A and B are shown apart, each in its own frame.
Chain A
Amino acid sequence: MNAGRLIPIIALLLALAFGAPAQAQTDDATLTALVNALPLGNFKEREVAATALAATGDPRAVPVLQTLTDGELYVIEASGQVVFVETSGAGVLATDPVTASSLGEFAKGDVEKVKVNNGLRRALRTLIGQMTLLSENRGTRLAAALSVLRDASPDTLELLDSALAAEADPEIKTVMDVARAAIVLKTDASSAEKAAAAQRIAEWGGREAITILTGALAEAPADLKPAIEAAIDSLERTRAVWSVLQNVWYGISLGSVLLLAAIGLAITFGVMGVINMAHGEMVMLGAYTTFVVQEVIRTSAPHLFDVSLVIALPLAFLVDGAVGVAIERSIIRFLYGRPLDTLLATWGLSLILQQAYRSIFGAREVGVELPQWMLGSWQVTDAIQIPINGMFVMALTVLITIAVSYVLFLSRWGRQVRAVVQNRVMAGAVGINTEKVDRYTFGLGCGIAGIAGSAFTMIGSTGPTAGQLYIVDTFLVVVFGGAASLLGTIASAFTISQAQSTMEFFLSGSMAKVLTLLAIVAILMMRPQGLFALKVRK
């Protein structure tokens, strides 16, 4: 290395040492000179050259140093120019590391690898860490801090300390602090210091905490082990609590979907005693109505797009309600008192509806597009986030349940319905138009199925046979809850979904489903009237 080259390097080193702010952007010529100094001399001199390059603080220096660390940096023998290369056929394509311009193709013999040894590599890593940890870009700093946390190499401790002192951003500061604790655990610091470090990591409680502590546990001296073990224990407890909470939450959201699908059935089957096997298809009718409404709004009134799903909800109710009344008029009213025949006829109806959906909308699943305000989620903690569309469906379930309870138990019409359920002949004798009550009760049940279908489009897509998936589940919910009891339906929807989500925690999905269904069947065998039975004289 000649003196002429050394002068600028020393100047730069001095500048860095005396705290002059490093230039963020060095001019190309200076940088090229510094880069080209890298292959010269022995490893010690290369380290000095690399330090000088790093001292520029130029972001372009980072990939050069990284490539050098990986042993992939080349120099063109003829010109002494340092280049990035890329194998291409028999030769290599060279790129200028500073200007990123292509230098054309070279034969493999024309370029030579810049050699590194372990000592140089260590120095290079520190330099890179320094450049990124002290970078002005917040994202680069955070990524560098996280990478230091993962490696937790004791070599970086000094560097990290200086970065920590300079850091202002609280989030990065936390990561750096934890990274420092992780490094301290690996050094030969005093036990008290290490215990404090373990404590610090446990308090932080991030995703890597348990891994870091478990790693440290293996190497820790005997007197430190209890402290680390305690820290791991407390972390695992916290994590278990969160996962149980998450599981409960999953069960609740599953339950609200189940309840929404079952509540219409609780009216038609539970209250009226009509087995409507086409209930799942009525749900799908609501879903397809929503799909059509959104398509119409998209083409003819785009400014309403944000509220298209809200507009679709009442329309789905009306369409389903009207179809429900028509079904009652044309099929079901001839079959009162013949529940098994009703079951078969409505199954036939469900086949016809399925094929109709397939002929009209195609066999592929269709989905609605969620408006902007329904996307995204609410971040509860680091580990848990709740999607907004799920919350919307849940709120809708609560609203519909309250509305149905009001209609059935507090309105005049609801009194008539209950009177017909308890004693049809007597209800007719006191002047209730039982046929009309039947018609509109069935319509109401189907209409709510429509709302359920409309809501389901917000959390999933809709296919012609999707309705069949609901039929067993929803019937079991209603039967299990005790037909004719709305409270029973609510309780059973959440019991079943919680049981299922709890078992899914331990078993595969299909076994959880099998065991849940088996448990329901077994309980129904022991208690045929369901959870909450309404006492009616027969």
Chain B
Amino acid sequence: MIINTRFFNRSELLGFIALAVLLFVILPLSLDIFRLNLVAKYLTYAFVAIGLVLCWGYGGILSLGQGVFFGLGGYCMAMYLKLEASSVANTKIQSTPGIPDFMDWNQLTQLPFFWKPFHSLPLTLLAIFLVPTIFAFIIGAAMFKRRVGGVYFAIITQAIAAIMTILIIGQQGYTGGINGITDLRTLHGWDIRTDQAKFILYFVEVVLLFACIVAAQFIRLTKLGRILVAMREQEDRVRFSGYSVANFKIFAFCAAAVFAAIGGALFTLEVGFMSPSFVGIVPSIEMVIYTAVGGRMSIFGAVWGSLLVNFAKTSLSESFPQLWLFGLGGLFIAVVLAFPNGLSGIWADHVQPRIDRLLASRKSKTGNGWSSNSVADGAPAE
């Protein structure tokens, strides 16, 4: 393996710039606010996908429960927004003014204790990071310390996603039930429903996305990232070398959870509600396909994958609703059977060499193995 001391190698830098130009310049200039808001919604899934690159692509831990963390982040944000929207003045027709409407409908007369911290914005922002991290830590510590991995981990995380959905739907008075938390209005007094707010939120989101990309790249390039890859390939050898395999796995899983939670919180802001339909088994496994399509080893691929799959979903289900599930199903099979490294694999195998040849023919090149970048870490294997 080639040790690369630069933060971004040449082609990664190109990818970074291309993505930045697209998200910061081309899309805001060319799309109307409705379409831009859709792109913002797609990009919230890119956060989850980047997390999955770290934890699945590099760490080899497939989590089928990322929707849980997405939902935890989203619900934390939604709880804050909901409390702000249910001020005493706004809810004076209720039998108990000052509590969210769905609580009033469910005969609750007092705000439950776990809602109380969400009156404060700093505590809410803290909760968006802490709640998923703690939750992921508990799951990760319990499983990885006992060397539960691979398929078992996937099935258990899927069960957790199922539990979470049933719990949210069942506890209607505390969570808003199947409708979720709706009718969100302002963020610290700032109306998030206007076009202008949506425009600003889009840029906030893109900035955060690039921050996450840089953070993920940092994790990947440090010793930590290399240990993750080593662990995926030969777990026992890493363990025999004196590393605590479980702790590295827990870290990767927690990092993925935090990324997902940031995505979820932004989702609530962009879309204006949060519901259990973004938490359960089906959305969780769809998040995995974004990563798989983009290429499970590629951070930029994750962003592209989220954008393309969601774009395909929206346009196909608008015009041919029947075809979408066939398409999505086919995508799962095709990605696994034919393109295990997704779009970034195709790019690295077919497009990149041509660009390299083109550049090499223009100026003499000092070959140093740069071209083998996104798949340099080898094909994934479980």
Residues of A participating in the B interface, judged by any CB pair closer than 8 Å: 275, 331, 334-335, 338-345, 347-356, 358-359, 468, 471-472, 475-476, 479, 508, 510-511, 513-514, 517-518, 520-521, 524-526, 528
B316 CB to nearest chain A CB (Å): 12
- Asked if A520 contacts B322 (CB within 8 A), the reply is no
In the complex, which residues of chain B have a beta carbon less than 8 angstroms from the beta carbon of A511? 170
In the complex, which residues of chain B have a beta carbon less than 8 angstroms from the beta carbon of A352? 325-326, 329-330, 333
Size range of the chain B interface in the assembly = 35 or more
Provide a sorted-by-A list of 17 A–B residue pairs whose CB atoms are within 8 angstroms.
Answer: A338-B381, A340-B56, A343-B151, A344-B285, A344-B289, A344-B332, A348-B331, A350-B329, A351-B329, A353-B329, A359-B322, A475-B159, A479-B155, A513-B166, A514-B163, A525-B143, A528-B146
- Given B156, B170, B325, which contacts A508 in the complex, CB threshold below 8 Å? B170
B162 at the interface (CB under 8 A from A): yes
Beta-carbon contacts of B120-164 to A below 8 Å, as 1s and 0s?
Answer: 000000000000000000000011001110111011101110110
A59 CB to nearest chain B CB (Å): 51
A159 CB to nearest chain B CB (Å): 49
- Asked if A348 contacts B329 (CB within 8 A), the reply is yes
In the complex, which residues of chain B have a beta carbon less than 8 angstroms from the beta carbon of A518? 163
In the complex, what residue of chain A is closest to B285 when comparing beta carbons? A347
- The majority secondary structure among interface residues of chain B is helix
In the complex, which residues of chain A have a beta carbon less than 8 angstroms from the beta carbon of B154? 275, 340, 343
B257 at the interface (CB under 8 A from A): no
In the complex, which residues of chain A have a beta carbon less than 8 angstroms from the beta carbon of B162? 472, 517
Taking each of A351, A513, A521, which has the highest tally of chain B beta carbons within 10 Å of its own beta carbon?
A351
In the complex, what residue of chain B is closest to A475 when comparing beta carbons? B155
In the complex, which residues of chain A have a beta carbon less than 8 angstroms from the beta carbon of B333? 331, 345, 348-349, 352
State the CA gap A320–B282 with chains docked (Å). Answer: 24
Known contacts A339-B150, A521-B163; A345 and B332 CB within 8 A of each other: yes
- Asked if A341 contacts B166 (CB within 8 A), the reply is no
In the complex, what residue of chain A is closest to B158 when comparing beta carbons? A472
- Asked if B336 contacts A341 (CB within 8 A), the reply is yes
In the complex, what residue of chain B is closest to A352 when comparing beta carbons? B329
Taking each of B148, B151, B162, which has the highest tally of chain A beta carbons within 10 Å of its own beta carbon?
B151
State the CA gap A525–B326 with chains docked (Å). Answer: 36
Chain B contacts with A in 209-237, Cβ cutoff 8 A: none
In the complex, which residues of chain A have a beta carbon less than 8 angstroms from the beta carbon of B166? 510, 513-514, 517
B76 CB to nearest chain A CB (Å): 20
Known pairs A343-B151, A355-B326. 15 more at Cβ < 8 A?
A: A341-B336, A348-B330, A349-B329, A351-B325, A351-B326, A352-B325, A355-B329, A358-B325, A476-B155, A508-B170, A510-B166, A513-B166, A517-B162, A525-B142, A528-B148
State the CA gap A331–B162 with chains docked (Å). Answer: 27
Taking each of B64, B148, B170, B332, which has the highest tally of chain A beta carbons within 10 Å of its own beta carbon?
B332
Beta-carbon contacts of B168-194 to A below 8 Å, as 1s and 0s?
Answer: 011000000000000000000000000
Known contacts A340-B151, A347-B285, A521-B159; A526 and B329 CB within 8 A of each other: no
State the CA gap A410–B125 with chains docked (Å). Answer: 61
